Amino acid sequence: MTAMNDKALPAWDLSDLYDGIEDEKIAADLEKYRAFCVEFAGRYKGRLSELDGAGIAAALKAYEQNSEIGSRVGGFAYLNMVTQMKNQAAVAFYQNISEKLTDYSKPLIFLSLEINQLPAEKIEDWLKNPEAAFYKPWLERVRRFKPYELSEAVEEVLLEKSMTSSSAWVRLYEETSSKLQYTVDGKTYNDAEVSKLLLDKNAETRRKAGAEINRVAEENADLFTFIYNMVIKDKAIEDEKRGFKLPMSSRNMSENVSDQMVETLAETVRANYKNIAHRFYRLKAKWLGVDKISYWDRNAPLPFADDTEYDWAETVSVVLDAYKSFSPELYEIAKDFFDNAWIDVPPRDGKRSGAFCAPVSAGAHPYLLLNFAGKRNDVLTLAHELGHGCHHQTRVKNGELNEYSRMTTEEVASVFGEMITFQSMVAKLPDGPEKLALIASKVSDMINTAIRQIAFHFFESRAHAERKDGELSKERLCEIWQEEMAASLGEAVEVGEDSRFIWSQVGHFFFLPFYVYAYSFADCLVNSLYQVSREGKVENFPAKYLEMLSKTAITDYGELLAPFGLNPNDPEFWNEGLSLISGYIDELERLDAKLQF
């Protein structure tokens, strides 16, 4: 393995969407989108009850085609911005496009409202037509929200004000976060770069980096506290008007999961804090030679871990080989992302931190954003985001309307992609320090996903609940944060003053409230699926897995998982997924005893 070469890292090419923000096709597509919205409302508003199955099918097909135009323009504006968030022209372009799409779409508000005023018999009659039946998943999703819809006039006001309320606060948070700078030992870092220091082998470097991240968070705490209070209040106002019982209920409705299922997941994970996270961090403290590890040492490399760096070509090879070993069909889907300029790999100043997969529309390929630093974790990050991309590609035939991001299933392919890549890496190693370090790193990641995200969920739930009594101070938010972190991490981790403001670094709290449990949901689901795969009791597992991925947005959980003998309504389903993590910790304890660390 060789050191990373930044110059060899590829960037994405958005020209298959538009040739830059000055492309004349953008204005033409916006006008086409605007004109359609007006014409569609003029033709169908107040007349849906008169349509037969063929009529509604034709209407929805035209509506879908127009939605793809809007997704294309909006997607381009966002992707163009996220790699250059210090470029004011790019940021302004994105905001301008977002405002226009919101404004132009107002005439279409009637559609779902009017559909929900129709009797069930009318919908059933429509669905007798094969072309209309294609849109059954979308129609069912629209009808699911019927009890929570408001009048057309109110819905229009909420849509218009979203640009100056929730969306505006999120924009302020993201723009501010992207400009934050950190100084360690006289050198300035952006978010992605300073995060890399937390993986340094030198404990003092990690301590300085963590303290600096917390210092910058504290420096911006007044602003972020105000933004978070506004985000929570804005959501609470709309939730109350719509009649949602709990702050998480609207998210759960979108996921098509019950509040009770999420509560069962959260409580089951919390009951496993001691057996998983607490047990693991006691081992890690031993390996690091301390009684307690600091908050910033949770992901620290072990002293006996190799310090190998992966270049981009090696990383791609590891991931694609793992995908191919699991399923040649999955490999062929994945390979397209590297044969085309669909991935933006290198970290750069002003680029959004982290990693994501961004679909543009249901019928077009997605793009992957990374901040590749050449570490082993970056290999698994690629496997994760590539899983998202492949998942999208299995669903292109479902159509723009039927497809939507049900976050509990959106994370399934990504986490499974990580799992098969990890297993391929660990299978090549004999018992020894390198194997122990690799498994420990994976367990650390799984705890961050399955355990820590539920601790985030409890933080979020408490913040939203307490906000009902008035604005929360930054001190109170820090208290809630420290309490939830301490409970989840255990007595072997020091949750002190140098990490108390880190809640403000969790972007999902701001731009996707109550998203975080989806990571744990998906992790437990994938762990259960992987257990089934490993047992070999399901014939043609890879083919059935890909078939499942193709239906995640259009099929309920019971039907999706039935071919694998799994029932997500059974509380033991979650324990089964968590048992895989516990089993890895058992293996770590075995290796620890054998190697006598």
Encode pLDDT of 334-355 as tens digits.
999 999 999 999 999 899 888 9
CA dist 349 and 359 (Å) reads 24
Strand partners, 344: 369
Q: Are 293 and 492 in contact (CB under 8 A)?
A: yes
CA dist 426 and 335 (Å) reads 23
The whole model's pTM is what? Answer: 0.82
C-alpha separations of 425 from 2, 306, 311, 373, 417 in Å = 17, 14, 16, 19, 13
Predicted pLDDT of residue 406 = 81
**Does residue 376 have a pLDDT over 70?**
yes
Predicted pLDDT of residue 2 = 44
pLDDT tens per residue across span 202-230: 999 999 999 999 999 999 999 999 999 99
At residue 41 the predicted structure's pLDDT band, cuts being 50, 70 and 90, is very high
Predicted pLDDT of residue 3 = 43
Predicted pLDDT of residue 584 = 97
At residue 196 the predicted structure's pLDDT band, cuts being 50, 70 and 90, is confident
Pick the CATH number of 14-164 from 1.20.140.70, 3.40.718.10, 3.40.50.300, 3.40.50.2300: 1.20.140.70
CA dist 204 and 198 (Å) reads 10
Q: Comparing C-alpha atoms, which of 428, 343, 448 is closest to residue 385?
A: 343
Predicted pLDDT of residue 311 = 95
The pLDDT of 112-129, averaged and rounded, is 96
Q: Is residue 358 classed as helix, strand or coil in its secondary structure?
A: strand
Least confident of 147-156, 197-206, 230-239: 147-156
Could you write out the three-class secondary structure of 373-420?
CCCHHHHHHHHHHHHHHHHHHCCHHHCCCCCCCCHHHHHHHHHHHHHH
CA dist 109 and 57 (Å) reads 18
Assigned token pair, 177: 């976060």
**Does residue 4 have a pLDDT over 50?**
no
Q: Are 465 and 257 in contact (CB under 8 A)?
A: no
User: Mean pLDDT in the chain?
Assistant: 93
Assigned token pair, 198: 């937390």
Predicted pLDDT of residue 408 = 82
CA dist 225 and 137 (Å) reads 39
Any idea how long the chain is?
A: 597
Predicted pLDDT of residue 7 = 57
Handedness of CA 166, 167, 173, 177 (dihedral sign): positive
Q: Which residues contact 187 (CB under 8 A, 6 or more apart)?
A: none
**Does residue 255 have a pLDDT over 90?**
no
At residue 399 the predicted structure's pLDDT band, cuts being 50, 70 and 90, is very high
**Does residue 249 have a pLDDT over 60?**
yes
Q: Comparing C-alpha atoms, which of 114, 549, 25, 145 is closest to residue 329?
A: 549
Q: Which residues contact 232 (CB under 8 A, 6 or more apart)?
A: 247, 463, 464, 467, 472, 513
Strand partners, 187: 184
**Does residue 5 have a pLDDT over 70?**
no
**Which letter, b or e, does each residue of 64-75 get, where b requires 16 or more Cβ atoms within 10 Å of its Cβ?**
bebbbbbbbbbb
At residue 1 the predicted structure's pLDDT band, cuts being 50, 70 and 90, is very low
**Does residue 171 have a pLDDT over 70?**
yes
Domain ranges of the chain: 14-164, 183-219
Q: Are 409 and 522 in contact (CB under 8 A)?
A: yes
The pLDDT of 493-518, averaged and rounded, is 94
Structural element, H or E, at residue 55:
helix 53-82
